[in-house]
Chain A
């Protein structure tokens, strides 16, 4: 009887397991104690058999699912974190500017899945990124009309952010926007600049009001209006919000539209050079990027991504990225010798109670940018005296925390660089905003997407921010830098 049972079992298991190895020998188990010794202390034969059966059936189901189309099985082993081998646009830098450009590119494409866009970010924790370390303020009080228009359009975008970046069936976006205007105080010496800025701002459509010292005192009784000749206060579309929420909103919407996110560092480019002759008979070397070398974090593995267009939105590190292509390394007097004038500058913010303060250091007193350490003595020497002078209640205050972040500081004229480089045909820059990148990111993203897809700016004319002003050395200075 037991022999017959054994035979039956063997037949059944043999029938089901034709393509897998039998892992356990079934002889000498359970029933057949008379012929061979059993050393197992397991349960009766039938229990083991059913457990094996279940495991084998699960393995069968997995194999069948892998064999159907749509599964990710492939006979070759590969690293799933690598970016794809080919893409249309590679955006270097996963801050708010990079993701804004990715979103607008996908929004403007005519066909769904018409373009393959990859965003490459080397630090998924964003520990040194300017976006997340920024205070998140938005203001319209600039001196250049282009900057004012950028702020107004971005405020418009932020007001309707759920219409733009809302994803079906997901939570609505809450930016925690605090509406409170920026108050600028001017002494006698610079009051005329403030008046000129006021007229520019009004004609561009910003809602700003000029106030005399008495009106300031009426409205904000805690301010000491000594030495103040004129003040300008933003009535609308100014305030601060959470930059991390904005970044995640852009990211979520862009990914739902098909943008591919890649964690890695761009360590090199492969390009071809066309040598042409210009009118003066000089040779001009025009480069065209063929592929971007993306290296995986903490590993020697890299993937060359063939691409048509590269967008440099690397923020404080854009200068270094451009150097990989040889910009800035040519002979001194040529175009190739002009580096991209963007470098990281450290800005410290201190948090005391519910107030955030900061002071821009003078040109000669720039802090060391090799790390993001905070210099507390700076607060004692520079910030606190001015704060206590202007608002006497701040004489007794306690600093609860402080942090430092990088500005992608444009050493040339502290305004953004938008557009492509004259010597590299397919690299577009969107960097160097020196502290107002976050507040301009929606409008700049739209501008860059228009430049790439339509060839020219459609909604806002940002051609003044192109490389041309750096080549001819005509700085476009912004007089209201904070």
Chain B
């Protein structure tokens, strides 16, 4: 029995040695728990299966939160369905023609007053710091009057989400995707589809390699749009200031 176990262990580690070859070097000291888990995964099938199951559960939970609210859609119409989706995720919205926002509180509880406004489209949506993703965007597909979309700090918003924003191309005027960790330059190119965009916030996107160049290209791509891009540490260096001073002195001398 023990010999069998040991045999399996050796087979497993030999197999994973091949799989591990392409691993890049990570941080030097990862937390003890993750190192222990990694050691156990590489030596025991059961631990690997458990970890796979756990990540699958996480994905299922995310999928459940972003499912298409078909029932609400058929009973109450697309606007109420979008509103319900936004509130369930913990975001906020504002109807067209009204000035008050409907939001869920910190515990996730919200009032059902929004049911009174049937067939009123949404004008502004705030989904900052929620787990909205590509499949969740199907709930917002029919909002043809949506002018503002705030997605600050959303961990699941990626390039495919930005590509799908073309469904709102005729109405979207303000977009905020700052602090989203999964967005890269490949997705920013799709913002060209948003013809009416006037305000764009792309601050602090961690995966942008050359933020200065990307912002210049974005400004060229969207000439009527005002782009806000803070958090990249772009400012005049002291050396530049010295050069400016020298030129001024030389100019005075001449």
How far apart sit A166 and B22, CA to CA, in the bound complex (Å)?
A: 13
Contact (Cβ within 8 A) A71 B10: yes
Please tell me if the beta carbons of B186 and A178 are within 8 angstroms of each other in the complex: yes
Chain A residues near B23: list those with CB within 8 A. 170-171
Number of interface residues of A (CB under 8 A): 29
The chain B residue with its CB closest to the CB of A163 is B59
A25 at the interface (CB under 8 A from B): no
Q: Which residues between 143 and 168 of chain A lie within 8 Å of chain B, taking CB atoms?
A: 159, 163, 166-168
Q: A170 and B19: CB pair below 8 A?
A: yes
- With A168-B52, A179-B186 already in contact, the answer to whether A256 and B19 are too (CB < 8 A) is yes
Q: Are A256 and B189 in contact (CB under 8 A)?
A: no
Nearest-neighbour CB distance to chain A for B65, whole angstroms, equals: 15
Q: A384 near B: Cβ within 8 Å?
A: no
- Let me know if B68 is at the binding interface, CB within 8 A: no
Inter-chain contacts of A237 with B (CB < 8 A):
163
Chain B residue numbers with a CB within 8 Å of A176 are 184, 186
A374 at the interface (CB under 8 A from B): no
**Cβ-based interface call for B190 (8 A):** yes
Task: Give the residues in chain A near B6, CB-CB below 8 Å.
Answer: 68-70
- Known contacts A168-B52, A171-B24, A176-B186; decide if A235 and B193 are in contact (CB<8 Å): yes
**Contact status B51-A179, CB under 8 Å:** no
Please, which residue of chain A has its CB at the minimum distance from the CB of B56? A163
Task: Verify if A255 is at the interface (C-beta below 8 Å from B).
Answer: yes
Contact between A167 and B190, CB atoms less than 8 A apart: no
Q: Which residues of B contact A168 (CB under 8 A)?
A: 41, 48, 51-52, 55
By the criterion CB–CB under 8 Å, are B24 and A239 in contact? no
Whether a CB of chain B sits under 8 angstroms from the CB of A207 is yes
* B41 neighbours in A (Cβ, 8 Å): 168-169
> Which A residues are in CB contact (< 8 Å) with B164?
236
Inter-chain contact B10/A180, CB cutoff 8 Å: no
Q: A360 in the interface, Cβ–Cβ < 8 Å?
A: no
Contact A180–B189 (Cβ < 8 Å): yes
The answer to whether A70 touches B10, judged by C-beta atoms less than 8 angstroms apart, is: yes
- What's the minimum C-beta distance from B209 to chain A, rounded to whole angstroms? 11
Number of residue pairs spanning A and B whose beta carbons lie under 8 angstroms apart: 73
Cα–Cα distance between A166 and B48 once the two chains are bound (Å): 13
Are the C-beta atoms of B19 and A180 separated by less than 8 Å? no
A252 at the interface (CB under 8 A from B): yes
Known contacts A179-B163, A179-B186, A179-B190, A258 near B59 by CB under 8 Å = no
A417 to B143 CA separation, bound complex (whole angstroms): 43
Question: Does any Cβ of A come within 8 Å of B166's Cβ?
Answer: yes
Q: Would you call A412 an interface residue if the criterion is a C-beta within 8 Å of the partner chain's C-beta atoms?
A: no
Residues of chain A within 8 A (CB-CB) of B55 are 166, 168
Flag if A236 contacts B186 (CB, 8 Å): no
Q: Does A177 contact B (CB under 8 A)?
A: yes
Contact of B134 with A by CB under 8 A: yes
Smallest CB–CB gap between B171 and chain A, Å?
16
* Docked CA distance A68–B189 (Å): 59
Tell me, rounded to whole Å, the shortest Cβ–Cβ distance linking A282 to chain B. 50
What is the CB-to-nearest-CB distance from B220 to chain A, in angstroms, rounded to a whole number?
A: 11
Q: Are A256 and B11 in contact (CB under 8 A)?
A: no
List the 9 shortest-distance A-B pairs measured between CB atoms, nearest first. A70-B10, A178-B186, A179-B163, A256-B19, A70-B7, A235-B166, A179-B190, A69-B3, A159-B160
Given A68-B3, A169-B38, 18 new contacts (CB under 8 A): A70-B9, A70-B10, A70-B11, A163-B59, A168-B41, A169-B37, A170-B20, A170-B23, A176-B184, A177-B159, A179-B162, A179-B163, A179-B186, A179-B187, A179-B190, A235-B166, A256-B16, A261-B18
> Can you report 26 A-B residue pairs in the complex whose CB atoms are below 8 A from each other?
A70-B7, A70-B9, A70-B10, A71-B10, A166-B55, A169-B38, A169-B41, A169-B51, A170-B19, A170-B20, A170-B22, A170-B23, A171-B23, A176-B186, A178-B186, A179-B162, A179-B186, A180-B189, A235-B163, A235-B166, A235-B193, A236-B164, A248-B22, A252-B19, A258-B15, A261-B18
Interface residues of A (CB under 8 A from B): 68-71, 159, 163, 166-171, 176-180, 207, 219, 235-237, 239, 248, 252, 255-256, 258, 261
